[in-house]
């Protein structure tokens, strides 16, 4: 069986909204379970929070996320980015445009010194993304 590395995002209380947004960007099948579904919440007010969510796309992407219970610390100071790269400029630009909706551009999607088209943004949920379109496909 192959080994996979899959991003797992942590939110305070908007994982369901974020994952629905990412499904709108990437398509695919979204499966989610709440703390209440798993009888895993000590605080009844948090039963509707997402305990685990996984978005699996036709391209083979798997993006996972959960909400963080109030009793646990949410480290929002971590530095990370999710990188999308390849030679399908049209598809990658489509992801860029959808992720940028309600977000903020950090670096415009344009020709970089190394020849590829590259840009960085932070989406409306605070997730940082890098998009790189290989030379010759833009």
- Among 1-5, 25-29, 36-40, whose mean pLDDT is lowest? 1-5
Residue 52 included in any domain: yes
Residue 75 included in any domain: no
Q: What is the domain range of residue 129? A: 82-133
Q: Are residues 20 and 59 in the same domain?
A: yes
Residue 117 included in any domain: yes
Q: How many residues does the chain have?
A: 138
Indicate if the pLDDT at residue 133 is higher than 90.
yes
| CATH number of the domain bearing residue 116 | 3.30.720.110
Q: Would you place residue 29 in the very low, low, confident or very high pLDDT band (cuts 50, 70, 90)?
A: very high
Does the predicted TM-score (pTM) go above 0.85? yes
Task: Classify each residue of 46-82 as buried b or exposed e, where b means 16 or more C-beta atoms within 10 Å of its C-beta.
Answer: bbebbbbbbbbbeeebebbbbbbbeeeeeeeeeeeee
Q: How many domains, the chain?
A: 2
Q: Are residues 12 and 63 in the same domain?
A: yes
| CATH number of the domain bearing residue 60 | 3.10.180.10
pLDDT at 80: 84
Chain segment 71-115, per-residue pLDDT in tens: 888 876 667 899 999 999 999 999 999 999 999 999 999 999 899
Residue 127 included in any domain: yes
Q: Around Cβ 127, how many Cβ atoms within 10 Å?
A: 21
């Amino acid at each position: 069986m192959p080994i996979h590395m899959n991003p797992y995002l942590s939110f305070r209380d908007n994982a369901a909204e974020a994952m629905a947004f990412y499904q709108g960007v990437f398509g695919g099948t979204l499966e989610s379970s709440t703390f209440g579904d798993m009888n895993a919440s000590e605080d009844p007010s948090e039963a509707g929070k997402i305990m685990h969510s996984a978005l699996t796309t036709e391209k083979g992407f798997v993006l996972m996320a959960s909400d963080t219970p109030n009793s646990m610390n949410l480290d929002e100071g971590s530095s990370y980015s999710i990188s999308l790269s390849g030679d399908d400029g049209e598809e990658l630009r489509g992801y860029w445009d959808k992720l940028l909706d309600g977000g903020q551009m950090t670096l415009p999607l344009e020709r970089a010194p190394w020849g590829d088209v590259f840009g960085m943004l932070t989406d409306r949920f605070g997730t940082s993304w890098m998009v790189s379109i290989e030379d010759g496909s833009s």
